[in-house]
Structures are given as C-alpha cells and as structure tokens.
Chains A and B, each alone.
Chain A
Amino acid sequence: MRMGRNTMFRSLFDKVWKFAAIAAVLLIIPRFLGIYTIYIYSWLLVYLIAAYGLNLILGYAGQISLAQAAFMGIGAYVVAILVTRGVSFWIALPLGAILSFGIGLILGFPALKVKHHYLAMVTIGFNVIMYKLFENQEAVTGGYYGIFDITRPSLGALRFESDLAYARVIAVIALIMVIIMYWILNTRWGRAFKMIRENEVRAEIVGVDIRAYKLVVFAVGSAYAGVAGGLLAPLLGYIEPTLFELTISFDFLLMVLIGGRGRFEGPLIGVAVVILLPEFLRITNQANLLIFSAIAVVVLLVAPEGGASLWDWIFKRLTGKNPPSLTK
C-alpha cells in the first residue's frame, strides 16, 4: 500500500484544519475571561513557549539546561530596550530570538564536551552571570529596577494595547512556536532524537552526528526561551532582573519534569500544573513549590527515563486505554 501524493496532502490538510481549530479556540477563550484571568492565560502561554524549549533540550536531546530563565531575560531585555527606544516590536522580538539562538550556540559548544553535572553547572553559571549583569549594568538594563513603560505592539492600523488583544497576539505566536516544535519532532530529526535517546552508541555508529544535533537543539531550545521573554516584556509593561533569576530556571525544570520530559504534551501539563494549581490552592509560594517538586520527584521515580509519565499511568487507570501519542 503506497502512500501517494494525494494521501500526503490529505493528511497535511487534516493537520492544518486541526491547528486552525485550536487557533480559533485560543483566540476566542480570552473574550470570556476577566482581567486577572486573561493575565494568567497570557502568562501561561508565555511560559509554555519556554517550557517547550526546555523539553526539547532535556527530553529529546537529553541535556540539562538551567539557563532558560537567562535566555528569557535576553529576549526580554532586547525587546524592552529596543521598544522603549522606538523600534518596532515585530523587529525586536525576532532579534531577541536570534540573539538567544546565537548565544545558545556559543554556550552549547563547550557544553557538548562535558557530562551532565558539568553541563548543569555551566548553565547555572551562565544564568547567575546573566542575572548579575542584568542587575548591575544599569546603563543598559536599568539595573536593579529594570526597564519600564514597555508598550504593547501595533500592526499598521491594528493596536494590541488591550489585555485581550495582546493575549491574542501571545496565543497566535505560542501556537506557531508549538507547531514548529511539532514539525521538528515529526521529521527525521525526531527519529534521530529517539535514536540518540535510546542507544547513543548505536546512533553514532549509524551515522547520527550527535554533537551537531545536541548543539542545534540547545540553541533552538534557548531561542524558544528568548521568544517567551520577548513576549513577556510588553505583557508586564516592565521587566526587572528577579524575573530571570536562577530559581526561575529551576521552575522551568520542574514544569518539564512534572509533565514528563520527552513527551510532546509534557510542557502543557507541566505549565498548567505550575501556573494554574496555585490559583486554585491559594497557598504560599513556597508551599506551591513544595508540591511541584514533590510531584516532580514522584514522576521521576515512576518513569525515570522520561517518555512515559505518571499521567499515562493515571490516564490508563481512569479510562482503561492507552493514552494517544502525538508524535511518532
């Protein structure tokens, strides 16, 4: 049974209209949300982008990055600095992403040579260094107080000033980022990642350039964080260093772990838990973190290799069926 051009186009059309449907839903939802909820909604989508980046790095290329917050900061400060000087948001955002990508490449290069704990240390080091820079380079970053009055973008006659409008901008961009991720993981790159994850030695023997893949993945994942940061700046209207400190990188790690690293829907679950749960529980920040980290530990103990997760187990228990897999 050969798949001809027709079937290929049909499955592509299938995917397109599914994504269009999701886009419609994402655009309609905020219409019905209150001011505060829209804010949570936007925040969730922004963090989702960064979480997808980390999931790619950690779950698919098997590398630890504790620098996602720093890259978010890079994207955020680029947008903040440029937008407050009159540059269009639509130029600043890609610029921030490209800068994050480039720095990710540079950081990733030496990172290739070292093993996990060293890589963790290098990324921690990078985050701390960036944080100190953000905090102390007053002339550029506004120092401790950060940058204010970051205006929201406009496109021609359209102004995205309102919370509702800007939430939709974020939603569209988030969806695009997720679609790109879906694309990456469903091409041969996805298979290459699987091979690397399951048997790195054999993967190299059949010609997989492991270093190249890991490097590019590191850069792409960091660029995702850069995009998230770029979106964050106009969302808040201001940015300051503590938004990008080391503990935020830990938060991203928890999100990816909770969702199940290496699962396509992992970041969705992880971000939903970390952002939404506190809204329902109304307990202290520390208590939230305690719960999240405890969940993360449990998930790790249940499914140490990643890929499968606690949620599969729960899904199976509740419905008796195997959960669907979004990537091959």
Chain B
Amino acid sequence: MILQLIIGGTATGAIYALMAVGFSLLWQTSQTINFAQGEFVAAAAFIMLIFYDALNLPYVLSLVLTIVVAVGILGILFRKVVVERLIKTGLLSLICATIAVSIMVRNSLIFYTAESMAFPSIVSKEAIPLLTIRFSPLDVLNIGLAALVIAALQLFIRKTKPGKALQAVAQNRDVAQVLGIDVGRMTALAFAINAVIVTFAAILVAPVYAAKYNMGLALGLRAFYAAIIGGFNQTRGALIGGLLIGYIEVFTIAYVTSQYSEVVILLIVIGIILFKPEGIWGTKEVWSREL
C-alpha cells in the first residue's frame, strides 16, 4: 500500500516539480512571479488539443507545433507585453498582472469547449499489477519524462554556453550584465524554456486528469506550494518541493483526511512562509534597502 502511494505521489509530484522548476527559473532570471503558471499548462493542453483533435495532426507533430506556439505566446509574447513593462514598476504590479492574465487565460479556454476533454496519451493508462502494486505505463512516463526534462535543463544550464549565461543571470543580474551577457535575451530564453516545460507538464497531466478550462487553478496553486516549500530560488528546491507536495497530498488523502488535504499542505506552506521563507532548500534572499 505504501509503495503504491509512493508511486502515485512520485507521479503527481513529478508534474508539480516540473511546473515549479519552470516557475523557479522565471524567478531566478527575471524576478518574475508567474501566477499564471497553472493556466499556462492548461493553455498548452488546449493548444495541443487544437492540433491533435481539431486538426487531426499526428501526435508528435502536434506536440512540436504546440511547443512552438507556447514559446511564442506564453513565452515571448507574455514577456514582451506584460512582464517587461511591469517589472520596472515593482513586484506588486507584476503579481497583479499575472493574476489578471491567469484569469484571462482561464476564461478564454472555455471558448474551445466547456467540457472535460479526453486527452491523448502516448502510453496506456491501464494499470499493470505487479506483485502488490498497480502502476500504469503513464505513471512511469510521468516520472521518466519529468526527470528527463529536468535533467536536460540542468545539462543545458551547466554545459552549454547560453545555459551558463542563463545561470550567470540567475545568480547575479548586475554582474552578468557587466560581464557582457545580454540579460534581455537571457530572460527571453528563460521564458521560452518555461513555455517548453509547461507544455511537457501539460501532456503529462492532461491524460490523467482530463483537460478542462479551469484545470489550471488547482495545478498552479500546487506548483506554488511546491515552490514555496522547496525554495524557489534554487532549482533543486523547486524539484524536491514538487515531489514533496505529491507525497504529502497522496499520503494525507489516504491516511488523514480527504476534504482537508489541501488545508494540511497550506498549513505547512504558511508555516514555511513564516519561519523559513526561503524554503527548505532555498537560499536566503537579500532584500536590500540601500539608497
């Protein structure tokens, strides 16, 4: 039973981790808190549906096209129109804006359909019994693909030139600028990467939970819980946070309470905010008040 829960927790946790890592990337490189992260995943899922369902394109082609569109709209356009303009004003305006954008996205998806849409899955969702546990190939795919994406991201950041530049910007913007790194382009890159990440998160979560226009809210919230608990100024914090939320969620529902499972998570989140705001694996941020 516990093993079963661990598998379930890892599978959902993997998705939260993915989303949290993208969230963390945006924060680290451009001090952006993207309250619309959940809606981005939903949007990606719907874009995928448009290509796959409505236009009947093959899966892989649909995926590629979705990534392109996502990068274009959720990445570049979002950054150019909304983030860039408001980041100068301050975090408060940016947060208000991303909340408003999340409401926009959430309520525009319904124009495609209000129904819960079955989402394609490349592997079977059927659970395979193995000894005492049941897991589906989709669960394995969740964990595997999420791990792959995050590993690829880490590789990109550590080994490639643009990746290292991105890391430099994430660690210290001003120093990076002095070193000649085009901070603007690097932030654009971060947004693009986030768009790719949310697309993958979409194709992992939608087959299980179906695609519905309001799926983003619950997902987005959990990604934030993950990012806060784990610490979103460190990628590994976001990763571990995501997995943790997955586990806490399944174990709480199984053993403690079903209705209040989110409350349990929230109490932990609020506790972390009050006592260790940088998160368990995050590093302390310096909020300078120098003149």
Contact = CB atoms under 8 A, between A and B. Distances in A.
A contacts B: CB pair < 8 Å: yes
B266 A64 contact: no
Contacts of B270: 110, 121-122, 125
B93 A289 contact: no
Contacts of A66: 99
A297 interface: yes
Given A114-B277, A122-B270, A286-B110, A293 B93 contact: no
Contacts of A5: none
B164 interface: no
Interface residues of A, number: 44
Interface in A233-251: 246-247, 250
B104 A293 contact: yes
A120 B213 CA distance: 23
A110 B272 CA distance: 12
Contact of B107 (A129, A136, A293, A297): A293
B123 interface: no
A293 B101 contact: yes
Interface stretch (B6-14, B198-206, B257-265): B257-265
Contacts of A293: 100-101, 103-104, 107
Interface string A103-136: 0000000100111111011101100110010011
Given A114-B277, A304-B93, A290 B100 contact: no
Nearest to B213: A286
Given A120-B95, A128-B266, A301 B85 contact: yes
A289 B107 contact: yes
B109 to A, nearest CB: 9
B91 to A, nearest CB: 5
B16 interface: no
Interface in A36-58: 58
Contacts of B263: 128-129, 132
B89 A305 contact: yes
Interface in B60-107: 81-82, 85-86, 88-93, 95-97, 99-101, 103-104, 106-107
A278 to B, nearest CB: 13
B195 interface: no
Contact of A114 (B88, B107, B273): B273
Contacts of B289: 201
A304 B89 contact: yes
A69 to B, nearest CB: 14
Interface in A241-270: 246-247, 250, 253-254, 257, 261
Nearest to B290: A201
A118 B269 CA distance: 10
Interface in B156-194: none
Contacts of A115: 91, 277, 287
B33 interface: yes
Nearest to B88: A304
Nearest to A289: B107
Contact of A201 (B92, B114, B213, B291): B291
A300 interface: yes
A254 B99 CA distance: 9
Contacts of B90: 304-305
Nearest to B33: A117
A64 B262 contact: no
Contacts of B101: 293, 297
Contact of A116 (B92, B97, B104): B92
Contacts of B116: none
A132 B259 contact: yes
B274 interface: yes
A68 to B, nearest CB: 13
A64 B107 contact: no
B103 A117 contact: no
B259 A135 contact: yes
A225 interface: no
Given A64-B95, A120-B95, A201-B291, A294 B269 contact: no
Given A116-B92, A128-B262, A305-B93, A296 B273 contact: no
B92 A62 contact: yes
Nearest to B221: A124
Interface in A54-98: 58, 62, 64, 66
A257 B96 contact: yes
Nearest to A66: B99
Contacts of A306: 93
A132 B97 contact: no
B84 to A, nearest CB: 10
A62 B96 CA distance: 11
Interface of A: 58, 62, 64, 66, 110, 113-118, 120-122, 124-125, 128-129, 132, 135-136, 201, 246-247, 250, 253-254, 257, 261, 284, 286-287, 289-290, 292-294, 296-297, 300-301, 304-306
5 contacts: A66-B99, A114-B277, A117-B33, A129-B267, A300-B86
User: 3 nearest interchain CB pairs?
Assistant: A304-B89, A293-B103, A286-B107
Given A117-B33, A286-B213, A300-B97, 17 more contacts: A62-B92, A110-B274, A116-B91, A118-B273, A120-B99, A121-B269, A132-B263, A253-B99, A254-B103, A286-B107, A290-B104, A290-B107, A290-B108, A297-B104, A300-B93, A304-B89, A306-B93
